[in-house]
A = this chain, B = another copy of it.
Amino acid sequence: MVFLHKNNKFYKANIMNPISKAEENHLKAIFNLCEEFSKPASTNAIAKIMKTKAASVTAMIKRLSEKHPALVNHQKHKGASLTETGKKIATNLIRKHRLWETFLVEKLNFSWDEVHEIAEELEHIKAEKLIDRLDEFLGRPKFDPHGDPIPDAKGNFTFRKQILLTELAAHKTAVVVGVMDDSPSFLQYLDKLNLVLGAKVKILERIEYDGSNRILLNDKQEQILTNKVCQNLYVKTL
């Protein structure tokens, strides 16, 4: 099979055509945006995630569709979404990312605010056997250090009944299981508050004035959490 390329040049559509790092990152961005908003990912939104410009995204999507047909769906001005094959690839990247993060925290003693950047690079290492072995070595973890689900080799995510801490009823108790915002600054702040995964939180009082919450942490420590903090913390009721 041959594909028409710009300037009327042809090139073979090599089945082994490897997906580049930039292409992989774009696929992941499109996947995440489509998941979050349940609609095609806009050029601008992708550019923001990729820290590039809209024009670069348009060019990338064009190149992607030509080089690897059957990964991305795209109509001019209508945004991009992934085909099933594209989703498989994106899911596998997320799997790799989260497994590496888990490795860094569990085995190399990194803290949860340090691992994202490194995993962002490690996820692009292409060796299926490596990731299978890593998964096994880590004991086939179901969640990463931020509480995000790690898809299995087939791409299946584990779902968990979780709510935001803002949604937890007053006087109820729950356990911190994840974060919505995984920026280093938020994670570091959570560390300072001892609000790590597994922490037990009881809502003592919800303050109407500003939506802040008086909580009891791990059955002993009383403190105030702003609404913003609670809005970014996932908990699971006991």
Contact = CB atoms under 8 A, between A and B. Distances in A.
B107 A137 contact: yes
Interface in A91-130: 104, 107-110, 114, 117-118, 121-122, 125-127, 129-130
B118 A137 contact: no
A104 B107 CA distance: 14
A133 interface: yes
A51 to B, nearest CB: 15
A109 B136 CA distance: 10
Question: How often does this chain occur in the complex, in copies?
Answer: 2
A74 B147 CA distance: 52
A163 interface: no
A104 B130 contact: yes
Interface residues of A, number: 19
A154 B137 CA distance: 30
A109 B125 contact: no
A49 B122 CA distance: 25
A34 interface: no
Contacts of A107: 137
Contacts of A127: 117-118, 121
A45 interface: no
Interface in A128-154: 129-130, 133-134, 136-137
Given A108-B130, A117-B127, A118-B127, 16 more contacts: A104-B130, A104-B133, A107-B137, A108-B133, A108-B134, A109-B133, A110-B129, A110-B133, A114-B129, A118-B125, A118-B130, A121-B125, A121-B126, A121-B127, A122-B122, A122-B125
Interface of A: 104, 107-110, 114, 117-118, 121-122, 125-127, 129-130, 133-134, 136-137
